[in-house]
Structure 1
Amino acid sequence: MTASVDTQISEYYDKLLKRNAGEPEFHQAVSEVLDSLKIVLGKDPHYADYGLIERLCEPERQLIFRVPWTDDNGDIQVNRGFRVQFNSALGPYKGGLRFHPSVNLGIIKFLGFEQIFKNSLTGLPIGGGKGGSDFDPKGKSDREIMRFCQSFMTELYRHIGEYRDVPAGDIGVGGREIGYLFGQYRRLSNQHESGVLTGKGLTWGGSLVRTEATGYGLVYLTSEMMKAHNESFEGAKVIVSGSGNVAIYAAEKVQQLGGTVVAMSDSSGYVSTPNGVDLELLKDIKEVRRARISAYAAEAGNGAEYHKGGNIWEVKADVALPCATQNELDGESAKLLAANGTRYVAEGANMPSTPEAVHFFLQNDIHYAPGKAANAGGVATSALEMQQNASRDSWSFEYTDQRLHEIMSNIFKDIDKTAKDYDREGDYVAGANIAGFKKVADAMLAQGVI
């Protein structure tokens, strides 16, 4: 690494901060990648040519639009919609839609930027994008959600398509929301273009395993990481933060592989489950009743205990899988995990560990897999859904799950080998950033300055 590379990256990052003021999540995501790219530019300086880094960090297109809708009282509500089409060098933009009151342009840019590298790591021909709204589905009736989704898609539909941009679900956007969005798209476009959204219902173009994909994929990659260090999930105690889709199916796969999920959470607190999780009950509470995690503790028995507002990372475990939201695991929590003997951390959410936590993991021999690698199973299976839609085909659960397992295994092998190639053995952050970057960068250089 030369001083000139350090200076070059530092000067560019300073410009990015000024150009994108008030977007801390985006700054954090870019900073992590740029730190890894210092290693690349020191060894392969041609990646600094043609303004490549600057172009990579600037979205190709940013869309912000008004979303007016009528609530059940007949009052008009107005939300803001976003779609950031970040990079299409490898294929059509691909990334989820998030409906949550915290959503703003900076968060969508951070998610879209991460998506570029995540999608690249899958090895599938998809570019990076992300979208959403500050709309909060919680407490809304089905009809209110339908009216909001129809209004949101009335603007979005003109910017998406199976060869242009293919959204999916994310926080606050599940099967119900995808159904309403697709219905409105079909009405406006006058065609059943099933490849324009993924996460659809199985009877109208959806794919088996899509529901389970992010959680299953997280565990498949973590299992590969453990295997590289001669360990497995058999007999392991595992913390899974969150209790949404990713967390539920991560917990399911952990227990299928012989591990015990000893804690899960939601925004109100966490449940310690020393004897494992009753997945049937958890799915009923979270997916059917849409109730709080405290209801699980009240009904489960078997040693389950609810801790209101507690810190889930204080539970003793071998493996931690943060699956809730960004920056949920800070430096102090990382120290708690280490003190309790945690040896593996893999991210099911997008950027759930703060920079301080990541630094602590890397400096203290805790094997850590970042979200852009570990939670790529969702988008990988979305791309498999696109393949099925394009061929008017439908694959079995077993075949699709096998494809997912192969993709996640290959991602780990890729980031592990890349880290070794750049003299950073065991640093899966550098491995993921560099491996994801090089595929996109090579495509961008080949296609010229556009």
Structure 2
Amino acid sequence: MAKRTTAVVILAAGQGTRMKSRLPKVLHPVAGLPMVRHVLDAAATLKPERVVVVVGKGQENLAQAVAPAAVVVQDPPRGTGHAVMAALPALKGFTGDVLVLYGDTPLLTPDLLKRLLAARRAKADPAAVITGFTPADPAAYGRLIVGRNGALEKIVEYRNADATERAVRLCNAGLMAIDGARLPALLKKLTDRNPQGEYLLTDIVEHARAQGWTCRVTEADPVEVMGINNRAELAVAEAALQQRLRRQAMAAGVTMTAPETVYLRTDTRFGRDVTIEPFVVFGPGVTVGDDVLIRSHSHVEGASIAAGATIGPFARLRPGAAIAEGAHIGNFVEIKNARIEKGAKVNHLTYIGDARVGAAANIGAGTITCNYDGYFKSHTDIGAGAFIGSNSALVAPVKIGAGAIVAAGSVITRDVPADALSVGRGRQEDKPGFAAKFRAIKSAQKAKKK
């Protein structure tokens, strides 16, 4: 067939009452991304001419989340066929192929969608191609009844199926590719004369066959077409997607010593020869360069880590953290909106926020940048090769010059010149014999109370 255009209709109007949530079901996240966004991202790989999302009444937050896709409201919701009817005005004049997807199937892949379209565009020119799957337990899924010639004869709901039909293991996943030129005519044939009292999209198979048009099936992995209806299924989907993301990362050159303990996001990006120890969590927006070591129990989000850096254990990189080549971020160190330049070391019990730490600088244990005064955030600049002694407080805004030394325990409130030593602490005073006298006095006082 000649090259055809594609439109995508995503059904997302369900209220998701079994989620027990004020949040629309399809906005619940999987790997940190709302499940409907996973569907939109998979569809985007096809470069569709139009994308339409069908939402329910009062779901303004869902409409915002799917932008810039066109949004139509299904009110009241009267079944899947009715939802596609609601999308028809947004498809006016479109005669290419229409993919009908569901916003609660976050594990579908671009490859599945390409196979679905390829089946629709095959020489037999089916009016519709329906995605099937063979689950371990067919349970109450609708069954796909396929004839000897391979054509789909009907889709039968479990409640309406006889014993022979219930014995069929090929089940309906719901995803469809439909000829856009024939779609309006097929939808016009739908009625709500069924036990559900709804317009069911599955009935288009019957109406297509009545017109002499064929329908076909393409089969998918059950995991790919898994729909989410409750929190337990959400957790299953999360585990499945995490497993997929880990496999992809390891196939691309990442070592995970205990992959089942590492939590990834769909946008986590790794270079080669990255090593991730157990119990590392990645939030959104993380990029990791080559030869990076991320040690156990670290949490990273909104951060970039350049080649050869070492992070953790028990480190936290917050949004805006930029770790340069060969830098070391150690245990119980938190970095927020700060550049740690090449070869710098921040190794112990330290908070660096709204700052720059220059190349090869060393930050001693217990150091903090005091970046917030209760009203405004201020910046700390630490020059290359500077040495900040342990337990120092750098009160921003302040600049520590290149090569400067800040003595341990100092509170620094003004700029320190390059190569200077700055001591910002009270003078030590010793009182010989005081400790022994103190103990004697206190012991006598305690004895009197007995």
Q: Which TM bucket (shorter chain)?
A: under 0.3
Write 1 or 2 for the structure with the bigger share of strand: 2
Using the size of structure 2 for normalisation, the TM-score is 0.22
Which is helix-richer, 1 or 2?
1
**TM-score under structure 1 length normalisation:** 0.22
